[in-house]
Each structure stands twice: as C-alpha cells, then as structure tokens.
A and B are shown apart, each in its own frame.
Chain A
Amino acid sequence: MRSYSVVLALCLAAGSASIDIPAGFTRIFDGKTTRGWHFSGTVHHGTTGIATVTKDGTLQLVQQPFGQGGLFITDKTYKNFELYLEVKVPFATNSGIFLRSTEGGSAYQIELVQGGATGALIGELLRLSQGIPAPDLTNIWKTDEFNAIQVRMEGDAPHVTIWINGVKTGEVQEPRNDQIGGVVGGHIGLQLHWLDTYEPRNVSGGGMSNAMKPGHPLEFRNIAIKELP
C-alpha cells in the first residue's frame, strides 16, 4: 500500500504522455530499444511476433504473421519484486502480464482484456492454487487509454497484490509455490496472444477469438521494477 499515493499521482497523468515511473523503481524497458528482452522460442502463442519502439518511447507488439503472437520476456529473471507498467489494450485483443515465467511461458498471469477479465490472476501453463477473480473496474479502467498496472509479488508461496490505476483490485496469499520443478522466480513477460492455427480448417479446436485486432498493436510503456529482498 505504500506505493498507492505514488501510483495514484502517476495515474492522474496517464493518458497524456506520462514519462515517469514510481520512486525507487528501475526501468527494464529503456524506451528506445528492445535491449534486455526477447521472444520465447517455444511458447504456443507464436515465436515470430514483432516488437518495435515508437519515437515517444512506447513498446508496440504485433502478431506476425496474423494469428501468431508470442511472449516477449525479459532476459533477466526476478524472484521478489514490485512491477510497474502502463498498457493500452485495444478492444478484441488478449494480453497478459506474465510473472515468474519460464522461457516457455509457464507463469502466473495478470489477464489484460479490455472489456473482459482484466486484473484476474490466473495460471498460464501452470496449475495455480488460488487465483484472483476479475475485479469490477467500473470507474477505474480508462477505455482506450494507457492504464497503470502495479503488482507486488513476494515469497516462495507468493503473496500477490495488484493495483490498477492506483486502486488495489486484488490480493492473494498463495498456499504453496506452484511453479514446475519447485523453482521460485522467473522472467517478466508480455503476452501477445495467438488467434489462429496454421491450418484452421484441419483443427477441431479452432481459434481464439478476440486475441488480436488487425492493425491495433498492443502498447506498453514505462516498464519498471523494484527488486525486493
């Protein structure tokens, strides 16, 4: 809760060209290059997505080819931390913030679906002991603007707290570590969800609706972290 006032102040500025991050945090996206990040080579969302940086310091993620996204993850791994970022998620697009992710995308995930289950804590290729249901974001979420997400994750059996635009929207004390193999920690990841299979007509499962809207990139900026003991 100690960062509440800081984040709230930042969020009042969100939507304009916010260029600040909370005090005590270190940028892990430099606003100019994608140095320190890479696409996973084995995640099912795709391996050939495109990450570009705009002149105003925004990271844009786009499927390439259409239907095939990816998981854009930090080179470095983190165990206990507070993460801050701002994200703009177009309607009909599915994203998420991966926490303690493996290279292949087994992770705790904060869902990001504008108009959907944004703010829920779920497991991605990870059997989560206890999730956080999607919060009511009425009067919190700013449609089609940048929104500030902050999460604190601490402990082997992690305690997870999520703030959206400065408002605490969820908190859980996991009863156990759920990571494969007993590892504690992992990459920070930005999900660019898949939409279609290579040969859709041959696949009984079909595709994933609302995973990506053509011509509308996912956008992130001011990605920063504060590592905790």
Chain B
Amino acid sequence: MRFGVALALSGLTLAAQTPAVSSPTSNSIGMEFIRIEPGTMQVGMFHPDCENGGGGRGRGGPPADPRMIWDDADRAACEAQTKAERSDGFPVAIKKAYLIGKTEVTQGQWKAVMRTNPSLFQADRVPNPDNHPVESVTWQDTQAFVKALNAKERTRAYRLPTEFEWEYACRAGGLGQQTWTEIRAQAVLGLGLAGRGGGGRGAVSTAPGSEPLPPETPAQYTARTGMTNEVGSKTANAWGVHDMLGNVWEWVADPYNGKIFPDPTPPKSGSVHVLKGGGFASDVKNAICATHGFGPGDPFAVGFRIVKDLP
C-alpha cells in the first residue's frame, strides 16, 4: 500500500540554510567544486508510523487473504514499538565552508591522477566512460587517489568528505526527507538504463523465454542489465550538486558505527567505512541523504567524490 501524504513537519526547529550560489571552481584535472557555506542540519530523524502496516494487499499476488490484515493486538504492538523507537535525531553544525565535488569522481579524472582504471563500465560497455563515475574502488583506493591528487597539486586540501559534510551537501537545506518524486528527478536509479532512471525494481519481464537468443556484445548486455550513467545526467540538488543520490554509492571518511544512523561523534577508527547515497541498482527507498550504509557494497556501484578545504 502506498500513500500520498502531504508534507507534515513535526515542529522541529530546523535551519534551512540557503547559501548564495557561487560559480563552480575547478582544479588541474577539470574537477568542478561547489562551495558549501556553514549551517546546521538535523541528523538521525526517525519517525516511523503504523499507517502502512497490515492493509491486506500483496504486491502482484492473488487477492488478499483476510489473515494478512492486522488485528488490534498487531496494531498495538506496532504502535508501542514505533513510539519507543521514534527519534528527532540531533543537530549538527557545519562550522566551516568547504568545496565539494560537483559530481562523483569520473573515470577520466581517476585516470588523469592514477594512470589506471578499476571500473567495470569501460569502453566495451558504455559509449563515453570517461564521464561515468569511477567504480570498483575500495575505501583504501580513495585514500590513494587523494594522496596522489594532493601530491600532483602540491597541496593537502583534498580529502574524502566526513559523513556530516556529505549529508549536509546532500540535504542542501531541505527539511527532512525528500519525496520519491524529487529523488527520482535527481538520482540515477532503476538499474540506470536510458529512460528508465526512475527507480524501477526490475520485475518480471514479459520477454519470451526458453528460445536460444543471439549473442550480445558487452554493450548490449550492459544496456539490458544495468549500468552507471554519465555524471550530471540528472537534475542537480538545490545547491547545484549532482548525483548525491543514485549512480554510485559514495565512500565518506567515517568508520561505520554499527547503527542505523551516525552518532553525534563518529568513531575514530574501524575497518568498515560508511557508504552514502545509493547506486544505480538501488531502490528509491534508501536513495536518501540519511541512509547510513556500510561497505563493501557492490563494487560496480561504489565510487566517491572529494572535498577541498578552503584556505
């Protein structure tokens, strides 16, 4: 059951920051950055309810069995649990302006720095791979890239964003969670196929089976089964940043804390790191700024963007 429910905010005091839009700056490898101004956001808001439970309709199945419908005890149990788990989260202050990549790091940018390309979706599979996000990178790989870029430009300004910096730039001053309509306008989802970026789940096809089919080229196979899209192919968010949601999951600096949301003070160490934003094979449900995923993820859908500290 799906609901079209009007935006209803809970009365929380949330500062909707709207930095002045500035022209993107670029660096030695043509990477563009958006300046993000200081401000605050609310992290970890969790407001589940029981309105969606026990309606009795299955997805695509036979007519509902009456035993699917919740009784009073089921609803009471849900109400008690969700009341206990409800949280308004905590405020996070971003105290210093920073530059964040306008898009995910591309294969072309990766090659310009590292002289290699670990990505799956290269020229045999997609027509313009240099504009696709680099993927199949581990968190350690991102550190090597940052180190090499800093060395190339004789600076120490480049690094992965913290989770809070990433989420702040993703939310772009928005209150709470975006609607699925907004997300689909901004995110490469639905397996990333041309014209199908709206978050389709890849359900059963009506294509005939059993008959032998002619061989496919890697490009034909990829177009049929899913791929990243070129960066910047969807609408930017309110602060002009592209692909924060969808296309590839993005590594951030923080180790994973083992919880559904980050803690106000992130862990200082840990071998598993946080992934944000969802990828082309994700569902719209978790392609949201708040999603606090963790590695390894699917290599073909894991990339990153970087920030640059201001002097």
Contact = CB atoms under 8 A, between A and B. Distances in A.
A115 B293 contact: no
Contacts of A106: 202, 226, 281, 298
A121 B209 CA distance: 13
22 contacts: A65-B85, A91-B67, A92-B67, A92-B69, A103-B298, A115-B67, A117-B61, A126-B225, A127-B225, A130-B210, A134-B61, A176-B216, A180-B298, A194-B285, A200-B3, A202-B179, A203-B179, A204-B180, A210-B54, A211-B53, A213-B70, A215-B77
A66 B76 CA distance: 13
Contacts of A198: 45-48, 177, 288, 290
Contacts of B298: 42, 102-104, 106, 180
A194 B284 CA distance: 12
Interface of B: 1-8, 45-49, 51-62, 64-65, 67-70, 74, 77-78, 81-82, 85, 120, 176-181, 191, 201-205, 207-213, 216, 218, 221-222, 224-227, 249, 256, 259-260, 272, 275, 278-279, 281-288, 290, 292-298, 300-301
Interface stretch (A1-9, A167-175, A221-229): A167-175
B208 A65 contact: no
Contact of A92 (B54, B180, B207): B54
Given A41-B295, A196-B52, A197-B177, A129 B209 contact: yes
A117 B205 contact: no
Interface string A121-142: 1111111111100100000000
A65 B203 contact: no
A48 B260 contact: yes
A215 B76 CA distance: 11
Given A65-B85, A91-B68, A176-B216, A210 B58 contact: yes
Given A115-B65, A116-B62, A208 B52 contact: yes
A128 B55 CA distance: 28
A24 interface: no
B132 to A, nearest CB: 13
Task: List 10 A-B pairs, minimum CB-CB distance, nearest first.
Answer: A207-B52, A130-B209, A115-B65, A131-B204, A206-B3, A117-B61, A116-B61, A116-B58, A41-B294, A214-B77
A146 to B, nearest CB: 17
Interface of A: 41-44, 46-48, 65-68, 91-92, 94, 102-104, 106, 111, 113-117, 120-131, 134, 172-176, 178-182, 194-215
A209 B52 contact: yes
A106 to B, nearest CB: 5
Contact of A128 (B69, B204, B211, B297): B204
B193 to A, nearest CB: 8
Nearest to B4: A204
Nearest to B207: A129
Residue of B2, B52, B62, B227 with most partner-chain A CB within 10 A = B52
Give the dominant DSSP class at A's interface: loop
Contacts of A113: 58, 61
Contacts of A68: 260
A178 B209 contact: no
A180 B225 contact: yes
A107 to B, nearest CB: 10
A209 B57 contact: yes
A68 B47 CA distance: 12
Nearest to B68: A92
B49 A196 contact: yes
Contact of B213 (A102, A125, A175, A211): A175
Q: Taking each of A106, A124, A199, A212, which has the highest tally of chain B beta carbons within 10 Å of its own beta carbon? A: A199
Contacts of A209: 1, 52-58
A69 to B, nearest CB: 11
A121 B225 CA distance: 17
A126 B202 contact: yes
Contacts of B8: 201-202
A123 B260 CA distance: 26
Nearest to A66: B81
Contacts of B256: 41
A125 B201 contact: yes
Contacts of A179: 225
Contacts of A46: 260
Given A65-B85, A103-B297, A205-B284, A210 B56 contact: yes
